[in-house]
């Protein structure tokens, strides 16, 4: 704990000493006017961090049902097989053409999830490393096509939430309860800030940790708050001097209402901090039971909180999907609430025609996807903007920006709305 406090006091001293000087400068990243220009972006999910639902074939091809995340992907099959499958995936899942297409779709940001194991792997951790050169390539492609990059640490040592998308699907995530894990994460954020120190015009945002499990209680939240202070120092002061970077620090709300973060790291003493909130409507029985109109109304109801919050608020994950039907969405081998195949759930209806290939989607369903997409875009632009989850997936078109563009429920430019008054 001593080193956390020391890092906090260093950050506080630097802030106190230099707040006045930096206020006179433009506190906004000169390459993008956060807060006035809307963030319109897409996540490159399932690329540098595997997710079973995004690439089910990589998991099914192992022939081993116990391989449910990237940890077990490295642990429960031959290392050379895992290495070659991953290398092929990194080389093919996202290429420069995706950046061409993302720019052509009128988007200005990508958020790129990456795990701590791209930076260092501890003893006994079965992860396979090698993702970092691809992140660096992606930054070059983003530069070529005028796209900003949010580098998003999506998995921390010990796992910050136990989800498969943190790298390790476990019941008792151990990031927050083990100070070694937190210190390792601090060092990785420092490393990321230093790696892109000369690319702040492209890597304009660093998100120091995706979705820490704040719902587990105040012991988690107090570690998260301290880690956010340390991250501020690590991201805003990467030069080892009083000179401040332009990089925006994007803090996830840890599943707390925005009001929980009122006054946290706000100007003028803190510069360039934004809050990231994720809005989904399918991870509870009540939510999957909503009608289409109720999904749309619930999305619109976020507007007051987003427009009034005292930091820039980016909805860093959301989707036009309204069910949990996508194969493996709740984990490899786990069913869906919507059709009652998830333990303890009550069926709402059949998943047929609601997931998989858009060729099986009805015209009415595609119209709903368009309306729900537009309701969310209109609402999230009441805040600082949005980043949809996710660009592509093997077999869940309702989730992907690519399929939405191709099949017409996402417009070729995000300002071409058919239902601009859908939220009334
Ligand atoms: C804390 O985590 C580190 C890995 O980061 C591990 O080596 C150590 O055994 C853990 N400590 C405890 C008490 O679990």
Matching residue, tokens 């790129």:
112
Matching residue, tokens 């476990």:
170
* Confidence (pLDDT) at 30: 77
Q: How confident is the model at residue 8 (pLDDT cuts 50, 70, 90)?
A: very low
In this predicted structure, the answer to whether residue 290 has a pLDDT above a threshold of 80 is: yes
**Catalytic option among 70, 287, 317, 398:** 317
In this predicted structure, the answer to whether residue 183 has a pLDDT above a threshold of 70 is: yes
* Confidence (pLDDT) at 35: 85
191-219 pLDDT, tens digit each: 999 999 999 999 999 999 999 999 999 99
In this predicted structure, the answer to whether residue 250 has a pLDDT above a threshold of 60 is: yes
- Candidates 342, 321, 304; CA nearest to 404 is 321
Question: Which residue of 120, 167, 181 sits with most ligand 1 atoms within 8 Å of its CB, as the best mutation to test the pocket?
Answer: 181
- CATH number for the 35-322+365-391 domain, one of 3.40.50.720, 1.10.150.530, 3.20.20.80, 3.40.50.150? 3.20.20.80
* Confidence (pLDDT) at 19: 39
Q: Which structure tokens are listed for 308?
A: 């009034």
- Candidates 282, 319, 294; CA nearest to 398 is 319
In this predicted structure, the answer to whether residue 9 has a pLDDT above a threshold of 50 is: no
317 is catalytic: yes
* Confidence (pLDDT) at 17: 40
In whole numbers, what is the pLDDT of the chain averaged over residues? 94
Q: What gap in Å lies between CA 287 and CA 423, rounded to an integer?
A: 19
* Confidence (pLDDT) at 28: 56
Contact between residue 204 and residue 271 where contact means Cβ atoms under 8 Å apart? no
Distance of alpha carbon 302 from its chain centroid, rounded? 19
Report whether residue 257 contacts ligand 1, using a CB cutoff of 6 Å: no
Q: Is the peptide bond before 206 cis (omega within 30 degrees of 0)?
A: no
Q: At what angle do helices 218-236 and 2-24 cross, to 10 degrees?
A: 50
Q: How confident is the model at residue 3 (pLDDT cuts 50, 70, 90)?
A: very low
The mean pLDDT of 77-94, rounded to a whole number, is 98
CA of 331 to the centre of ligand 1 (A): 26
- pTM comes to 0.94
The mean pLDDT of 409-418, rounded to a whole number, is 98
129-156 pLDDT, tens digit each: 999 999 999 999 999 999 999 999 999 9
Q: Give me the residue spans of the domains in the chain.
A: 35-322+365-391
* Confidence (pLDDT) at 31: 86
Report whether residue 185 contacts ligand 1, using a CB cutoff of 6 Å: no
120 is catalytic: no
Q: How confident is the model at residue 10 (pLDDT cuts 50, 70, 90)?
A: very low
Q: Closest ligand 1 atom to the C-alpha of 178? A: 1
> pLDDT exceeding 90 applies to what percent of the chain?
92
Report whether residue 122 contacts ligand 1, using a CB cutoff of 6 Å: yes
332-387 pLDDT, tens digit each: 999 999 999 999 999 999 999 999 999 999 999 999 999 999 999 999 999 999 99
In this predicted structure, the answer to whether residue 167 has a pLDDT above a threshold of 70 is: yes
In this predicted structure, the answer to whether residue 5 has a pLDDT above a threshold of 90 is: no
90-136 pLDDT, tens digit each: 999 999 999 999 999 999 999 999 999 999 999 999 999 999 999 99
For residue 248, give the H/E element and its range.
strand 248-252
At 39, give phi and psi (nearest 5°): -70, 125
């Amino acid at each position: 704990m001593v080193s956390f406090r020391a890092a906090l006091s260093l950050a506080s001293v630097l802030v106190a000493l230099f707040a006045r000087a930096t206020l006179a400068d433009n506190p906004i990243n000169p390459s993008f006017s956060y807060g006035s220009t809307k963030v319109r972006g897409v996540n490159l999910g399932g690329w540098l961090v595997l997710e079973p639902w995004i690439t089910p074939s990589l998991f099914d091809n192992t022939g081993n049902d116990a391989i449910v995340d990237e940890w077990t992907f490295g642990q429960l099959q031959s290392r050379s097989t895992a290495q070659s499958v991953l290398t092929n995936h990194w080389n093919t899942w996202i290429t420069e053409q995706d950046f061409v297409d993302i720019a052509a779709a009128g988007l200005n940001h990508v958020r790129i999830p990456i795990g701590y194991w791209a930076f260092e792997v501890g003893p006994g951790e079965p992860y396979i490393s090698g993702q970092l050169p691809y992140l660096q390539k992606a930054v070059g492609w983003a530069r070529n096509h005028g796209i900003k990059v949010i580098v998003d640490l999506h998995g921390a040592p010990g796992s910050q939430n136990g989800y498969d998308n943190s790298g390790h699907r476990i019941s008792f995530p151990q990031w927050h309860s083990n100070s070694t894990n937190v210190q390792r994460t601090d060092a990785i954020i420092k490393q990321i800030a230093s790696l892109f120190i000369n690319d702040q015009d492209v890597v304009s945002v660093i998100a120091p940790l995706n979705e820490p499990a704040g719902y587990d209680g105040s012991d988690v939240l107090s570690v998260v708050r301290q880690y956010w202070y340390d991250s501020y120092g690590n991201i805003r002061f990467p030069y080892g001097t009083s000179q401040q970077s332009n990089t925006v620090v994007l803090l996830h709300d840890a599943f707390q209402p925005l009001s929980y973060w009122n006054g946290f790291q706000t100007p003028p003493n803190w510069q360039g901090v934004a809050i990231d909130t994720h809005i989904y409507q399918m991870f509870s029985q009540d939510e999957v039971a909503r009608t289409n109109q109720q999904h749309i109304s619930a999305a619109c109801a976020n507007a007051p909180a987003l427009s009034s919050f005292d930091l820039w608020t980016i909805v860093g994950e959301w989707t036009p999907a309204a069910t949990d039907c996508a194969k493996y969405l709740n984990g490899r081998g786990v069913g869906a609430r919507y059709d009652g195949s998830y333990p303890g759930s009550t069926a709402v209806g059949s998943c047929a025609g609601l997931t998989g290939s858009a060729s099986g989607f009805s015209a009415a369903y595609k119209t709903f996807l368009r309306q729900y997409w537009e309701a969310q875009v209109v609402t999230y632009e009441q805040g600082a903007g949005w980043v949809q989850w996710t660009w592509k997936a093997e077999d869940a078109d309702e989730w992907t920006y690519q399929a939405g563009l191709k099949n017409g429920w996402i417009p070729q430019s995000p300002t071409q709305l058919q239902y601009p008054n859908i939220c009334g």
